[in-house]
Structure formats: structure tokens, C-alpha cells
């Protein structure tokens, strides 16, 4: 009886300490295997999957992670649950596993393929889509009893598939690429057919998330972030402020989201990506997946058994949200550059802001910002692929303020 009381008290202390911590806190996974995907169905219950058939489950928000038997040694790259009991995980060599009892038993399903399967999602108990290497798309209408290949006409790897929540669940997106180009596909018939889209970048895209049928983000190599508000008819760049590979992204709210990637990179936005703010992860391991239940409660998973958890939206102090006290126009980065660079500025009050670029003869060559802005810090990416190399001047103008700096475009 005394032993039980001590254990219960220790558990309570762990819970209290976890609740009190802010920012991102590393959890004990009990493995050094690479972890590639994390998914939660409630504030307490979730799974991670990874290297050598690893499946871990928690029922206490990650205080304890317990292994489950996958019945395979193949790498598992993605896990998805449609409810608290029914889920799928996919991976190397066409591996598919399904559970109907919260992971107590994971049963194999036949993919009919030996390709690497990188992402799985379901819109209901019956309808699901898997994407993988060599442009592979698999579709099921019976919970995975039968998976059928879908012709996409592409050979690039597809890294992630996402269907935004909607009444019909017909619209979905898949992203991927190769070392020299990006790939974006869109479906409007639940995955029966797919139409390519132009992402406007040559960077391989690894993660995609949509908050509704029209609004989404894709992330990839070289810190690439692309954003669309029209269902992918146009994908526009957003500045991440990093050159690290971004692999996963998740938005629990229309304007609030995270992106994670290599070297422990975690970025957060609270304004739809107009500004991405780095957060302290406390690790240097590559992070591969991020999942949030709401704007405060989330997890990230990555290499060497890394699992991170936050109850505060990743924020460690109010200083991360402080309002600027003055106008500032920072030096662009990188500089010199080719073909794109980031320009960061801050404004202390609501103001009409203009940010323009001129050549040395004073001729305007680009307008980057020309609108009302609220107080805050902003980063704008300028792509100058159509201009000749040389020195240019960028100028920030607002009511009561004007400042200019030089930048160098290499060719």
C-alpha cells in the first residue's frame, strides 16, 4: 500500500511538472530509432512511428510511451487515425498496417506495390489515400481491404497527402518532388484523378496542410514555404528565415501553424505565414513531423527517438510576442544572393507601408509591400530571377519614416 502511494505521488509530480513547463519539452521515447510521424486523437492519446517498424503509443500525453508490435522491420513513415481505435501506418516496400483496437493488434494489408509509402490519410472509415515513391498513389474505398493504384502521370516522389476537412471530402492535395523540381497534385474527386499544379519553386516539397478547401501551406528544402488562398491556382512564397530543410507542417487554426525540419528547426506563425518566428526546440536532431490538437497543445517527432511536447504553443516567454518600439529596416539575408533574398522590417504602429526596390539609376524594379500594416515584425522574400546582376537599393517608407539599404544580386 505504501509502495502504491509513492508511485501515485511520483506520477502526480511528473504531471504537475509537465503542466508547469513552457516552450518545447523533450519526452522520453525509450528508443533511439528515427521517428517520422506523430498523430494524436485526444490530449492524452497518440502514436509515433518510425525506423525498424517502431510504433509507440501514449495514453498520458507522452509522459510514458509504450511500444506496440507492428509485425515488420520496415521503416514506417506515416500514421493516421480516423478515430480512437481505427488507424493505419505505412512505410518501406509497400508496407501497410491497420488497427481497429487502438494498436493492440496491427494487421497487414496488401498494397500490391514494393514502392516506399510515405503518407496515408483517410476521410472516413472507408475512403483513404496513400502516396509514395515514383509518383505512386493508392486509393481505397473499403477501409484498405483493397488498395488500387491511381495513374498520376508523374514519376517524382510524393511525400505527403492532405485532405482538408469539408462536407464532401472530395478535395485533396499531395506534394513532393525531386532534387531539381517540386510536385503538387490536386484532386476534386476523392483521389480518383489528380491534376498537377505549379508551385512556383524548384524546391522539393515535403509537407502540406490545408485549413480549408482553398487555403494551404507547403514546405520543403532550403527553407521553402509556399502558400495558396485559391486552392492552388497560385502558390506564393513566404519567408521562413532559414535554409534548413522543412519537412512537416500543421495548422490547428486558420492563421496559426508550425513547420519543423532539420537541425531541430521549429517555426511558428500566428498571422497565416506573413511572419514565421523560430522557436527553441532544445535539440539538433532532424524533426520530421508536427501535430497540434489546438493552438497550445502539440508534439513534434524526429530522429534518434526525439519526441517534443508543448502545452504553450511552443512559446517560452511573452517577449516572443512583444510589439516593436521603433521602425527598423534590417539588412537583407542572404547578401549577396541569387536569385532570392529575405528583407525583414518592423513597425511600431499601424501604418501604410511601402517597400520597394530600385536600380542605381533610381528606376523602380519591384514593389514588395504597399498596404496598411499592423504593428509587428515582417519578413518579405524577393525573387529577382529576371533581373541582371548588380547593386540595387531597397527602401522602406511609412508615415514619419523612410530608410534605404543596398543589396547585391549575383549572376
Q: How do residues 335-347 score in pLDDT, each as one tens digit?
A: 888 888 889 898 9
* CATH assignment of the domain containing 49: 2.130.10.10
State whether 100 and 179 are in the same domain: yes
State whether 196 and 72 are in the same domain: yes
Q: Give yes or no for a contact between 74 and 91, defined as CB atoms under 8 angstroms apart.
A: yes
State whether 262 and 383 are in the same domain: no
Segment (H or E) for 299 = strand 298-302
End residue of a domain, out of 275, 290, 315: 315
pLDDT 10s digits, 159-176:
999 999 877 789 999 999
Percent of the chain past pLDDT 90, that is, above it, reads 77
What share of residues in the chain are helix, strand, coil (percent, to 5)?
10, 45, 45
E strands, 110-256, are 117-122, 128-132, 137-140, 148-150, 157-162, 172-177, 182-187, 195-197, 205-210, 216-220, 225-228, 236-238, 246-250
State whether 289 and 397 are in the same domain: no
Query: What rounded mean pLDDT belongs to the chain?
Result: 91
pTM for this structure? 0.75
Answer yes or no: is 151 within a domain.
Answer: yes
Is residue 261 predicted with pLDDT exceeding 90? yes
pLDDT at 21 (0 to 100): 56
Residue 369 burial (CB < 10 Å; 0-12/13-18/19+)? middle
State whether 275 and 376 are in the same domain: no
Residue 155 burial (CB < 10 Å; 0-12/13-18/19+)? exposed
Q: How many structural domains are present in the chain?
A: 2
* CATH assignment of the domain containing 349: 2.60.40.2550
Query: Residue 34 is part of which domain span?
Result: 25-315
What is the Cα–Cα distance from 405 to 411, expressed in whole angstroms? 20
Is residue 215 predicted with pLDDT exceeding 80? yes
Amino acid at each position: 500500500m505504501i509502495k502504491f502511494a509513492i508511485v501515485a505521488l511520483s506520477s502526480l509530480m511528473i504531471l504537475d511538472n509537465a503542466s508547469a513547463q513552457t516552450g518545447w519539452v523533450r519526452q522520453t521515447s525509450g528508443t533511439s530509432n528515427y521517428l517520422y510521424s506523430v498523430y494524436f486523437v485526444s490530449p492524452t492519446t497518440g502514436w509515433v512511428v518510425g525506423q525498424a517498424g517502431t510504433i509507440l503509443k501514449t495514453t498520458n500525453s507522452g509522459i510514458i510511451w509504450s511500444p506496440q508490435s507492428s509485425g515488420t522491420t520496415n521503416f514506417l513513415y506515416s500514421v493516421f487515425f480516423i478515430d480512437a481505435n481505427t488507424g493505419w501506418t505505412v512505410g518501406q516496400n509497400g508496407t501497410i498496417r491497420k488497427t481497429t483496437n487502438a494498436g493492440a493488434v496491427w494487421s497487414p494489408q496488401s498494397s500490391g506495390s514494393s514502392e516506399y509509402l510515405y503518407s496515408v490519410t483517410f476521410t472516413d472509415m472507408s475512403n483513404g489515400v496513400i502516396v509514395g515513391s515514383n509518383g505512386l498513389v493508392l486509393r481505397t474505398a473499403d477501409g484498405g481491404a483493397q488498395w488500387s493504384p491511381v495513374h498520376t502521370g508523374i514519376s517524382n516522389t510524393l511525400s505527403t497527402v492532405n485532405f482538408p476537412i469539408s462536407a464532401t471530402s472530395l478535395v485533396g492535395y499531395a506534394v513532393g518532388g525531386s532534387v531539381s523540381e517540386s510536385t503538387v497534385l490536386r484532386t476534386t474527386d476523392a483521389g480518383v484523378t489528380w491534376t498537377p499544379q505549379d508551385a512556383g519553386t524548384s524546391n522539393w516539397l515535403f509537407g502540406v496542410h490545408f485549413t480549408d478547401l482553398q487555403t494551404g501551406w507547403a514546405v520543403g528544402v532550403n527553407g521553402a514555404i509556399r502558400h495558396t488562398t485559391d486552392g492552388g491556382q497560385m502558390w506564393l512564397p513566404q519567408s521562413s528565415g532559414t535554409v534548413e530543410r522543412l519537412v512537416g507542417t500543421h495548422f490547428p487554426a486558420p492563421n496559426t501553424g508550425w513547420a519543423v525540419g532539420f537541425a531541430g528547426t521549429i517555426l511558428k506563425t500566428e498571422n497565416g505565414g506573413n511572419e514565421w518566428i523560430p522557436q527553441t526546440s532544445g535539440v539538433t536532431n532532424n524533426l520530421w513531423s508536427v501535430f497540434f490538437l489546438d493552438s497550445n497543445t502539440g508534439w513534434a517527432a524526429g530522429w534518434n527517438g526525439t519526441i517534443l511536447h508543448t502545452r504553450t504553443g511552443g512559446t517560452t516567454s511573452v517577449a516572443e510576442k512583444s510589439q516593436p518600439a521603433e521602425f527598423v529596416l534590417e539588412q537583407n539575408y542572404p547578401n549577396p544572393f541569387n536569385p532570392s533574398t529575405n528583407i525583414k522590417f518592423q513597425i511600431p504602429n499601424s501604418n501604410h507601408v511601402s517597400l520597394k526596390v530600385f536600380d542605381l539609376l533610381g528606376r523602380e524594379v519591384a514593389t514588395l509591400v504597399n498596404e496598411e500594416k499592423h504593428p509587428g515584425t515582417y519578413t518579405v522574400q524577393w525573387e529577382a530571377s529576371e533581373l541582371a546582376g548588380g547593386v540595387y537599393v531597397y527602401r522602406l517608407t511609412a508615415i514619419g519614416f523612410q530608410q534605404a539599404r543596398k543589396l547585391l544580386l549575383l549572376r
